[in-house]
Structure 1
Amino acid sequence: MLASRVASICRRRRLAIPLPQILAGGGTNPARSSPVAVLLSHGYYSTAAAAAPDPEPCPATVSYLVSCGISPAAAAAASRYVRIRDRDRADAVRALLREYGFSEAEVTRTVRQDPFLLNFDPDRIIRPKLDFFVSLGFEPRFIAAEPHILARSLDNHLVPCIEFLRGILGSDDSVRTAVCRVPRALLVDLDNNMRPAVEAFRRHGLPEESIAKLLLIHMGVLMVPLDRIAEAFEDLKELGLSVTDTAFLYSFRVICSLKRETWVRKVALYWSFGVCEVDLLRAFKTQPTILLVSDESLKKKFRFYLDLLKLDIDDVMAQPMTLSLSLEKNVMPRCAVLSLLMREGKIERKMNLLPALLSNSTVFSERFVWKYAKDVPDVVKAFEGKIKFQGFGDREFERMSHHTTGAKS
């Protein structure tokens, strides 16, 4: 029954785009090649500012942007869309950012992402918005992460949006947490995007407290088109998830983040490694973010677990957190530690590996690093990633159904 639900959704998604075309991959979005072009396409600036790009870069603008720490190529691309009309004003904008605690790196990042801001009146246009965000407890890196926010009207956009979010989330602390996680969501229109999205959540039966939690999880759901929101509710219903299920909100966030063709491609990728539909659905409900792992990362992780560690695909899918962990930063250093301890005879060569790899960092370090650091000093280097994992040799690990074999006393 569960398998048929997954297959049903996948078949429905295949109707929109042929599977061979999906698996072949698509091209990049031309608009994404220029951040300034993206700004213009969203209408954050006036029609006058959004004029057609000039065929040639402006040397004076390129020179100024390079002096701000921007690469010549990026400066040349930006100068086709924006002109620095007054260097003194541009300098004053940068000085204002420093006054509000921006580091030089954050000033550079802000200018690189939104050079239009250099033409704004620093005291009349930018300072009031910085004061507003400071009053809410936002730090400079929030603005540096999404400086286009400073191009939005304070009275007509930013204040009403924050008030709307406060009405749902209940406090400035929660608003700050939600916005800082997805600052670009604060760019969308209140009446055309935010309100309709929240009303759609309510129409589909999501309780108020769940809506608040969803925005805390990922406020980007407010940017999702209404038809996609309806599809996401229907998809999760077909997968057997109701709005009262613990996994629903995280699953909803993931489903809304995926294009239909991406969903089909990722399911096909899991199938290619021998994952059955029932196991994929179970893993998705346990760890929805496994569908957000990039294709290349997923292939690399499966090859590591199946080919190098010789684990069974069923055991990996029974612990889907393994697919969310970083191989380089988390899994491989732990494997290096365990491999050292096995060679030194400190722990059994036959053990249940996955619980050790998935354990809390503090628990792992206490059990396998600091306990043996005096006798095997290299375990500290291995845990820090300074000794690379070379494999466990010809051996098999216990299946997940077996009991863990502990360290020697």
Structure 2
Amino acid sequence: MAYLPSHPRVLLADAEKTLSPEIEFFSSVGLSRVDLARVLSFNPHLLSRSLENQIVPSYNFLRNMISQENVVAVLKRKSWMFLENHSMNVIPNIEALRESWLVNEVKEMGFDLKKSTFVVALRALCGKSSRAIWNRNHEIYKRSWGWSDDDVISAFRKSPQCMILSEKKIMQTMDFLFGE
């Protein structure tokens, strides 16, 4: 019931013409009733958007890039993507990423564009401070733990988060695992 005070316009909606078709659509693409309740409680604005003009085009836009299973995962975790104006916000960002030398660098390191680790790896390399952290951690693994460049890249491929940790966290964990 917390939904209604924060979004009372839903009371004005025609349940048969507006709410029911949206709920049916979300169910038809694989969202369970429990997940749908979670999504709508987190993002009640979905019910105020046009099914034909916003929700379905957003679904189709994402579906053209990723699997249906992943579209449902996006809906469950990042439902705001269904509120975006994709032609103004998302498409230009995708084009900028496609043209970015960082995307090529991450691909050359062996990351699959379709995997979530690609995004984490890209994030680890983006920006001046991120690159500085990546370089610092690369040196820590090499200098303090005797890793080769190939070892560092291999670890990065398996778990890109290892290159965005603080020096203190790396040293504590490595000391615990290997130093004692």
What's the TM-score bracket when you normalise by the shorter of the two chains? 0.5 to 0.7
The unaligned stretches of length 5 or more in structure 2 are 139-159
Residue 115 (structure 1) aligned with residue 16 (structure 2):
no
The match for 1:161 among 58, 73, 88 is: 58
- Give 5+ residue unaligned stretches, structure 1: 1-107, 218-244, 256-262, 268-276, 291-313, 320-353, 359-398, 405-409
Cα deviation digits, residues 191-246 of structure 1 (max 9, x gap): 11122222222122537952x43xx57xxxxxxxxxxxxxxxxxxxxxxxxxxx89
Q: CA deviation at 1:116?
A: 1.9
Label 1:159 to 1:109 Cα distance change in 2 as closer, same or farther (>3 A).
Answer: same
1:285–1:164 distance in 2 versus 1, CA, 3 Å: same
In the alignment, residue 151 of structure 1 is paired with which amino acid?
S
Q: Is residue 136 of structure 1 aligned with residue 29 of structure 2? A: yes
Superposed, 1:7-406 pairs within 5 Å as 108-138=1-31, 139=35, 140-169=37-66, 171-205=67-101, 206=103, 210=113, 212-213=114-115, 248-251=121-124, 281-282=136-137, 286-288=162-164, 316-319=168-171, 354=172, 403-404=179-180
Q: CA deviation at 1:249?
A: 2.7
Q: When the two structures are aligned, how many residues end up with a matched partner? A: 147
AA at the equivalent of 2:14:
D
Amino acid at match of 1:173: E
Give how far 1:158 is off.
Answer: 0.9
**In the alignment, is the contact (CA less than 8 A) between 1:279 and 1:318 conserved in 2?**
no
| TM-score of the aligned structures, taking structure 1 as reference length | 0.31
Query: How many Å separate the matches in 1 of 2:161 and 2:178?
Result: 24
Partner AA of 2:170 in structure 1: A
Q: TM-score, normalised by structure 2?
A: 0.63
Give the CA RMSD over aligned residues. 3.8
CA distance in 2, matches of 1:282, 1:318: 8
Question: Which amino acid is the alignment partner of residue 126 of structure 1?
Answer: L
Which is greater in Rg? 1
> Following TM superposition, by how much is the alpha carbon of 1:167 offset from its aligned partner in structure 2, in angstroms?
1.0
Higher helix share: 2
Q: 1:156, CA displacement in angstroms? A: 1.0
Runs of 4 or more, structure 1, over 6 Å off, are 277-280
The equivalent residue for 1:242 is none
Distance 1:166 1:117 in 2: 28
- CA–CA distance in structure 2, aligned partners of residues 109 and 252 of structure 1: 41
Does structure 2 conserve the Cα–Cα contact (< 8 Å) formed by 1:143 and 1:149?
A: yes
Deviation at 1:251, TM superposition (A): 2.5
Cα 1:151/1:402, change in 2 over 3 Å = closer
Q: Is the 8 A contact 2:3 2:44 kept in 1?
A: yes
